[in-house]
Each structure stands twice: as structure tokens, then as C-alpha cells.
Amino acid sequence: MRRQAYANDLDEPRALVAVTARTKRSKADQDPSTWMPPDEGARCRYVADWVTVKLRRELTADPAEKDALAAAAAGCPNEPITMPPQP
């Protein structure tokens, strides 16, 4: 049920971002502890999008993922994350 709700979440634009096939293949099922966008200019958005989806869907993050997100976010401007409530 949660997986279906996530897959059909059209109210949160950060949940689905268009990328090239090459980028999609390089990421596969990795999280931020093992993969970041190759374009450094896209990393802050990627981190914000990742955190938004994790918070919105009440998903957990392991210590390596948290460390990678914190390290990447340290170089990003502070932006508030707003999102519609879960359906």
C-alpha cells in the first residue's frame, strides 16, 4: 500500500525528477552514501529532493546515508523544505 501511494504521488513534484538514461543507470538503486549526481550543480537540489521524499513518506535513513546527506548539505544554501501533507 505504501509503495503504491509513493508511486502515484503526483502532489509532490520532488518525488519524480526527469534525468537522462545514463544518469538513471549510474544511480540504479543507490542512496546518497554511494551516489551523488555527477553534475555538482545538481547536488543541492538532489539532497533537498531526497530529504523531502524521506520526510513526506516517513522513511528512515541509515547512518551512512545521514552522513552523506549532511556532508552534501553543508555546501548548500539553507532553503526551507515545504511539502503538501501525505495523501
Q: What is the mean pLDDT of each run of 10 residues along the chain (87 residues)?
A: 65 66 74 90 90 86 95 88 66
Whether the CB-CB separation of 57 and 21 falls below 8 Å is answered with: no
- The pLDDT value given to residue 49: 87
Q: How many CA atoms lie within 13 A of 42 on its CB side?
A: 12
DSSP line for 26-51: HHTT--TTT---SSGGGHHHHHHHHH
How far is the C-alpha of 3 from the C-alpha of 46, rounded, in Å?
21
- The pLDDT value given to residue 76: 92
- The pLDDT value given to residue 32: 93
